[in-house]
Amino acid sequence: MAYFDAASTEPLHPQAREALIAALDVGWADPARLYGPARRARMLLEQARTEIAEALGARPDEVSFTASGTQAVHLGVLGTLHGRRRAGRRLVTSAVEHSSVLHAAGIHERDGGSVETIGVGRTGVVDLAAFGEAVLAGGTALACLQSANHEVGTVQPVAEAAALCAEAGVPLLVDAAQTAGRMPPPDGWSVLTASAHKWGGPAGVGVLVVRKGTRWRTPLPEDDRERRRVPGFENVPAIVAAAAALRAMAAESAQESARLSSLVDRIRREVPRLVPDVEVIGDPVARAPHIVTFSCLYVEGEALLTELDKAGFAISSGSSCTASTLRPSHVLEAMGVLTHGNVRVSLPQGASGTDVDRFLAVLPDMVRRIREDAGVRT
């Protein structure tokens, strides 16, 4: 099976697996207690915190571990809005953020806050002028922008957005789930979120980073853990493994990201040459190294993914029929591109050129057969 769904989850890095097994034996005790095993767990936890902070361009005391990337976003968005209630109740966000941002925004609206959603261009890049104007409006408590889009890979102009936010005195939350460990950490954020299983760590570890000086107040019942930011007992072994994965990934990524990026270039170039009526979407240059998305006219996305699965490819899609919702993908919709027949290829570390070649070899006939079955004359 060729696994091409790293944007959903990166397979556990071998060094993370090793660290996880070792930490299960020595890092199980409650890091909040005073006895020997507890001190050892605490030491492991704080060492992992220091390493992850460094990789993300943060200070250790700014980093809290959550139960997931989604929870990190929920707490980041709602906690900052709560902490800045006096500044106002406006939230500014791009139209292509991860659903965790949009759902947190939905709660904020239900609680009487307002949300301004900024549109994107055809490649998925946020309209920076409109974003800048929106954060300048009075009463803006928080702005959100992802580092790169999870469905199409397009990188957002985070540095420029951060400069506009700084000018307006508005904190910027950057959801870095798709780039942490793969690209240099973004700069200029006030709140940063990420997810360990996207960088080869285990599931169940998210990261919430709140810059010193950013107002933040928990939207949940108080708890002593994680600098009072996240409730519940930390999963120390998983956090240790997450740090090991990030360390390994960051060390490999300079070379590996370039290699994956050239495989993505090959797919971007070859798919429209081999398959008629295909639109490759997202920015061809300013993009995450491992993600490429294309849409095939007249093809039902689910049918294509099923055929790919039978041929030994694990691949996902933003198409409505496969995304467990009847709504088309809000990302593709906002970009104004085809929402059906959508295929997202996202390459994990070590993805082989041979598998990419095999993918390119089987795809044209698959698409042709599905179109034929649907009665499309080409």
| Residue closer to other proteins (CB basis): 103 or 298 | 298
Binding track over 297-326 against other proteins, x by CB under 8 A: xxxx-------------------xx----x
Residue 119's identity, in one-letter code, is G
| Residue closer to other proteins (CB basis): 253 or 320 | 320
Check residue 145 for interaction with other proteins (CB under 8 A). Answer: no
CB atoms within 10 A of CB 353: 11
Q: Give me the least distance between CB of 115 and other proteins, in Å please.
A: 16
191 pairs with which residues across the strands?
A: 173, 210
Q: Which long-range contacts (CB under 8 A, 24 or more apart) does 162-169 make?
A: 162/186, 162/187, 162/188, 162/189, 163/188, 164/128, 164/131, 164/132, 164/135, 164/136, 165/135, 165/190, 167/136, 168/132, 168/135, 168/136, 168/140
Check residue 333 for interaction with other proteins (CB under 8 A). Answer: yes
Residue 187 · residue 57 · CB < 8 Å: yes
Q: Give me the least distance between CB of 319 and other proteins, in Å please.
A: 8
Residue 169's identity, in one-letter code, is G
| Residue closer to other proteins (CB basis): 235 or 342 | 342
| Residue closer to other proteins (CB basis): 12 or 321 | 321
Whether 144 is catalytic is no
Check residue 340 for interaction with other proteins (CB under 8 A). Answer: yes
Six-digit token pair at 42? 């605490």
Which span (19-27, 51-59, 138-146, 334-342) binds other proteins, by CB under 8 A? 334-342
Hey, which residues between 121 and 140 contact other proteins (CB under 8 A)? 121-122, 127
Check residue 339 for interaction with other proteins (CB under 8 A). Answer: yes
Residue from the set 21, 32, 159, 376 that interacts with other proteins by CB under 8 A: 376
Q: Give me the least distance between CB of 302 and other proteins, in Å please.
A: 10
Residue from the set 334, 351, 363, 367 that interacts with other proteins by CB under 8 A: 334
207 to each of 67, 126, 157, 198, 203, how far by Cα in Å?
8, 24, 22, 12, 12
Six-digit token pair at 357? 């070649």
| Residue closer to other proteins (CB basis): 293 or 349 | 293
Q: Give me the least distance between CB of 220 and other proteins, in Å please.
A: 34
Check residue 19 for interaction with other proteins (CB under 8 A). Answer: no
Residue 216 · residue 229 · CB < 8 Å: yes
Q: Give me the least distance between CB of 110 and other proteins, in Å please.
A: 21
Q: Give me the least distance between CB of 190 and other proteins, in Å please.
A: 27
- What is the rounded CA–CA span in Å between residue 257 and residue 264? 10
Check residue 21 for interaction with other proteins (CB under 8 A). Answer: no
Which span (141-149, 239-247, 329-337, 351-359) binds other proteins, by CB under 8 A? 329-337
Check residue 279 for interaction with other proteins (CB under 8 A). Answer: yes
Check residue 94 for interaction with other proteins (CB under 8 A). Answer: no
Check residue 285 for interaction with other proteins (CB under 8 A). Answer: no
Residue from the set 110, 324, 327, 354 that interacts with other proteins by CB under 8 A: 327
Catalytic site residue from 144, 165, 296, 321: 321
Residue 131 · residue 146 · CB < 8 Å: no
Question: In terms of residues, how long is the chain?
Answer: 378
Which residues bind to other proteins, rule: CB under 8 A?
Answer: 119-122, 127, 277, 279, 297-300, 320-321, 326-328, 332-341, 374-377
Catalytic residue positions?
321
